[in-house]
Structure 1
């Protein structure tokens, strides 16, 4: 079943409230993003899958042939598999909204899902994504809220590729917020604050205190 096509951790939240999907970075697992998810959306219902590709023992969501060089056929296949997984959980939960949060490789698979299935997510947070290709969006991103966070000195994701990604998303109608810090490929406090602000409407929908 698509619902069980990945090893995953599930957080039980308020029935009928928002549902978050959490996607870890290379070498992470289904538990890596739980603390962040709970910090950003306390009490949220969440699904956190483990990437099913092994790169020298490190879990990833799709194959690559080198740093920043993606196996595009594998990315397409893994994106379709993940889309089925997300749809199955959404159909079961019937949430008020669907939110994606991904870091690094997790942000990349989330971005690929947004391109391939624009209707899947109401909002997405892409933390330090690397999209070294021109996306082909299969539909429209009009009305979709997307936060992209990045480091200006990121050795993995050049800033110009982050800016280009934001431009692609905006050109397809997405409401994009771009948050920078002066460091590299790590999360910093200002991007966490930006993520909390971005998610404030969903905390309010849960009856949670909105803090910034």
Structure 2
């Protein structure tokens, strides 16, 4: 019996040139590499210009979201994302720093990992600790997706009705709950 392929949602971002070129070319190269590694690319959002996060942390980013499917577990998916990042010049030296490529595993179907209690702990981590603490295990859905316009605005292009399995809110509803100034700062590129 074939394994059901979950919808895997990812956020892509870059604000430095990579071996593939400028940030937009890097995002396209990353999607091509994922396809070469066995992912079916189901949908890709428009590309957006977004202010660096946190504010003032380098040049603006190019961000996008994609939906893929693959015969990978959540951990395999993350490992493949990290391999693609490394191949395109990503080094992990500063949390939330400038980067050639960032592939964030946003959601893996309705999977909640490692468990609802741990997810809640990371989701509710105080802002002053978010920049210095990182989980040592995979947390799904991404614990900050509901807070980030640079994730939700592109994700709304491709999955506006996807419902967060813990919060019970659609992408559209989470996006509407954001500060309007944060949403306005995410500008669609031609």
Which has a greater percent of strand?
1
Task: Give your verdict on TM over 0.5.
Answer: no
Greater relative contact order (Cα < 8 A, sep 6+): 2
TM-score (norm 2): 0.35
